[in-house]
Amino acid sequence: METLLLNKEDVSENVRMPELIPAVEDAFAAYETGDAQMPAKSYIDLPQYNGDFRSMPAYLDTGDWDAAGIKWVNVHPDNPTHYDLPTVMGTMVYSDPENAYPLAIMDGTELTLQRTGAAAGVATDYLAVEDASSFGVVGAGVQSYAQLEAVADVRDIEEVVVSDVNEDAVRAFVEHFQDRFDVREGSISDAGHCDVLSTVTPVEDPIVSPDDLGDHTHVNAMGADAEGKHELADDVLLGAKLVIDDHAQTTHSGEINVPYNAGVLSDDDIYGDVGEIVTGQTDGRTPDDGVTVFDSTGLAIQDVAAAHVVYEHAQEHGNGYEFDLLGV
């Protein structure tokens, strides 16, 4: 037996949205039905290096396939200026649940990028209006690309509005997608009045108010991944049909973490989690719904589901480098 080594390009080539979104949906369902194990994310704080490590293990059984793995990821803000390295880097170890053999070691950064987009795709499929044709994004970083790819996979998107203070980033986004969509730069309100809005910024002071949204906009709140981060005004969250991915993570470091821990927002204001919706226990969008919000923090089960997709397709396409890691 050999272990498959997959770099960023290998992961990117094999983690296509049409396969990834259903796999992430299956992961949400497995987690909801108790067919997944996902211990809490653990942290190793390294203040002497202004950084930390995080470990994210999970196992899931969808009925058709099962998978296990662990993502080892860091956050070192000084990396770009001091070492010419990314702030965040991830490594995924994907193992055979039956005998524990490490089937693959793969780039976890590209994996995270794409599975985060796929989670928004799942939520959009269940919570956006059926005839959604416009998409807005606030924040033109790398995640904005995955958001559009995912949303366009579940809805027939024609018009795209991108908003960011970085003009170069906006220009790059427009140039990348201009052959596929009617894409233009706009204000936060322009983006928010689209049928679907994704917010992918690291802000701690909310930048999206109720007036910035259409009457039936679905919002994927993707930017908050740490305590104190907060993109949507409290009134948006309180007035929306609010869906989360995981209670422990969202109340600790998701979009709702600030108002929840301040007592402004409570469990009564949370409609449910996405797993309840994909398993049919609760409704997605109904005719009476106005604004809907999905608070996504990113779960280890998503990483494992994405790794499964990557590994299966890499095997088919002959990607990666096989080597004898354990000598067994």
Q: What CATH number is attached to the domain comprising 256?
A: 3.40.50.720
Q: Are residues 154 and 170 in the same domain?
A: yes
The span from the CA of 314 to the CA of 86, in Å, is: 25
Q: Which of 122, 125, 111 is nearest to 22 (CA)?
A: 122
Q: Does residue 215 sit in helix, strand or coil?
A: coil
pTM above 0.75, yes or no: yes
For the purposes of burial, counting CB atoms within 10 Å of the CB of 156, is it exposed (0-12), middle (13-18) or buried (19 or more)?
exposed
Q: Are residues 171 and 282 in the same domain?
A: yes
Angle separating helix axes 142-154 and 167-177, nearest 10 degrees: 40
Domains identified in the chain, total number:
2
**Does residue 241 have an active-site annotation?**
no
pLDDT grade for 41, boundaries at 50, 70 and 90: confident
What would the mean pLDDT of 308-317 be, rounded to a whole number?
95
Element containing residue 154 per DSSP (H, E): helix 142-154
What would the mean pLDDT of 142-160 be, rounded to a whole number?
97
The answer to whether position 328 is within a domain reads no
The answer to whether position 247 is within a domain reads yes
Which CATH number is 81's domain given?
3.30.1780.10
Q: Are residues 45 and 193 in the same domain?
A: no
Q: Which residues are annotated as a binding site for NAD(+)?
A: 115, 142-143, 223-225, 229, 296
Q: Are residues 94 and 187 in the same domain?
A: no
Q: Are residues 253 and 238 in the same domain?
A: yes
Q: Are residues 179 and 268 in the same domain?
A: yes
What integer pLDDT is reported at residue 227 of this predicted model?
87
Report the share of the chain in percent with pLDDT over 70.
100
pLDDT grade for 167, boundaries at 50, 70 and 90: very high
The answer to whether position 326 is within a domain reads no
Q: Does residue 63 sit in helix, strand or coil?
A: coil
- Model confidence over 76-95: pLDDT tens digits? 999 999 999 999 999 999 99
Q: Which of 40, 83, 82, 46 is nearest to 58 (CA)?
A: 40
Q: Are residues 17 and 128 in the same domain?
A: no
Residue 91's domain comprises: 3-110+300-321
The answer to whether position 104 is within a domain reads yes
The answer to whether position 327 is within a domain reads no
Q: Are residues 44 and 122 in the same domain?
A: no
pLDDT exceeds cutoff 90 at 65? yes
The answer to whether position 234 is within a domain reads yes
Q: Are residues 255 and 121 in the same domain?
A: yes
The answer to whether position 99 is within a domain reads yes
CB within 8 Å of 280: residues ≥ 6 apart: none
The span from the CA of 28 to the CA of 35, in Å, is: 10
What would the mean pLDDT of 89-118 be, rounded to a whole number?
97
The span from the CA of 180 to the CA of 87, in Å, is: 31
Q: Are residues 72 and 180 in the same domain?
A: no
Given the residues 8, 41, 71, 241, the one annotated as active site: 71
What is the token pair recorded at 49? 């290096």
The answer to whether position 11 is within a domain reads yes
Q: Are residues 162 and 79 in the same domain?
A: no
The span from the CA of 71 to the CA of 243, in Å, is: 25
Measure the CA dihedral 251/255/260/262, to 10°. Answer: 120
Q: Are residues 100 and 146 in the same domain?
A: no
pLDDT exceeds cutoff 90 at 321? yes
What integer pLDDT is reported at residue 224 of this predicted model?
86
Report the share of the chain in percent with pLDDT over 90.
95
What integer pLDDT is reported at residue 225 of this predicted model?
83
